[in-house]
Amino acid sequence: MRIWRLSLLLLLSLLAPLALAAPNDPLSIPAITLGSNAEGQQEYSVSLQILLIMTALSFIPAFAMLMTSFTRIIIVFSLLRQAMGLQQTPSNQILIGLAMFLTLFIMAPVFDRINRDALQPYLGEQLPAQEAIARAQIPLKDFMLAQTRESDLELFMRLSRRTDIASPDAAPLTILVPAFVTSELKTAFQIGFMLFIPFLIIDMVVASVLMAMGMMMLSPLIISLPFKIMLFVLVDGWGLIMGTLAGSFGTF
């Protein structure tokens, strides 16, 4: 009990100067303040805006994976590595880095629209934070709607039991994001299936030749792997894959 009392006294002694500080003290920092501008809209203090921005930074990985082209690209790259029979080559770090830069290339028009319509007017104090966020959502929603299947969007609208959404453009991000991710998963696996076919044919041909020669104890993967790598290099596989992925998103 004495330890708890001593800890409480120490805590009170540390908080007492803060509690007794004058509200008009120039050294004090107003952590959370809400005000109204001339138009009647609410404005937040700079410290609260910084807190919200720092909190939003923790969602950057989820934003990069679920609201951009990153999901489709990284899944296709992973399926391509499995189709070729390569376990750790290229490594995960290389695939993720390649997917990130290809995502930046594909999403560049969307980011330019966000910078032009929302970020720069906000930094120039021409827009409040709420309106800047609303404008920043428009290019992202246009991009995701263009890649989302109507059946997936209708599925999540039905699950949400929302009856006040008149058109897909009016769908909130809470419905659009899961529908977009579902469509991206379907598209990525469809592309991966097409990538598996030529490598599967090579495996079947090599396995048939080995069985005909009576070399059944030799693994077909050991023989087919060099042929698959050679075929992939001769047809400029990486260029075809990246060009196909970039072209599958269209122009925004």
Contacts of 83 (CB under 8 A, 6+ apart): 192, 195, 196, 199, 200
The reply to whether 36 falls in a domain is: no
Domain total in the chain:
1
The reply to whether 41 falls in a domain is: no
**Over 60: is that where the pLDDT of 28 sits?**
no
This prediction's pTM: 0.71
Domain with 90, as residue range(s), is 62-194
The reply to whether 207 falls in a domain is: no
CA distance 104 to 68: 9
Kindly state the average pLDDT of the residues 47-69.
73
The reply to whether 141 falls in a domain is: yes
Instruction: Give yes or no for a contact between 175 and 157, defined as CB atoms under 8 angstroms apart.
Output: yes
The reply to whether 241 falls in a domain is: no
The reply to whether 143 falls in a domain is: yes
The reply to whether 155 falls in a domain is: yes
The reply to whether 96 falls in a domain is: yes
What pLDDT digit, counting tens, does each position of 213-237 carry? 777 777 777 777 888 888 888 888 8
What pLDDT digit, counting tens, does each position of 109-135 carry? 888 888 888 888 878 778 777 788 888
Instruction: Give yes or no for a contact between 41 and 130, defined as CB atoms under 8 angstroms apart.
Output: yes
